[in-house]
Amino acid sequence: MSYIKLFFIIIFGYYENYMLAFSVLIVLCIVVGAFFILRAKDEYKNFRSICLYNVIWKWKYKKNRIVSLWCYCPECGNALLCDDEYCRSAVNMTNKTTFLICKNCGDVEKGRIVGGDRNYLLRIVKFEIQKRIKNGTYKNEAKHEL
The residue within the footprint of Zn ion, chosen from 102, 122, 125, 129 (CB under 5 A), is: 102
Q: Which stretch binds Zn ion (CB under 5 A): 8-16, 49-57, 97-105, 133-141?
A: 97-105
> Contact region for Zn ion (CB under 5 A) — 24-32, 57-65, 95-103, 112-120?
95-103
CA triple 51-54-57, angle to 5 deg: 40
Amino acid identity, position 144: H
The Cα 4–Cα 56 span in angstroms is 59
By CB under 5 A, residue 105 contacts Zn ion? yes
Query: Which lies closer to Zn ion via its Cβ, residue 62 or residue 107?
Result: 107
Using the contact rule CB under 5 A, the part of the chain among 5-13, 87-95, 103-111, 138-146 near Zn ion is: 103-111
When binding is defined by CB under 5 A, the residue of 15, 19, 75, 99 that contacts Zn ion is 75
How many amino acids of this chain bind Zn ion (CB under 5 A)? 6
29 touches Zn ion (CB under 5 A): no
Q: Taking CB under 5 A as the criterion, which residues in 55-74 touch Zn ion?
A: 73
80 binds Zn ion (CB under 5 A): no
Q: What does the binding site for Zn ion look like in residue numbers (CB under 5 A)?
A: 73, 75-76, 102, 104-105
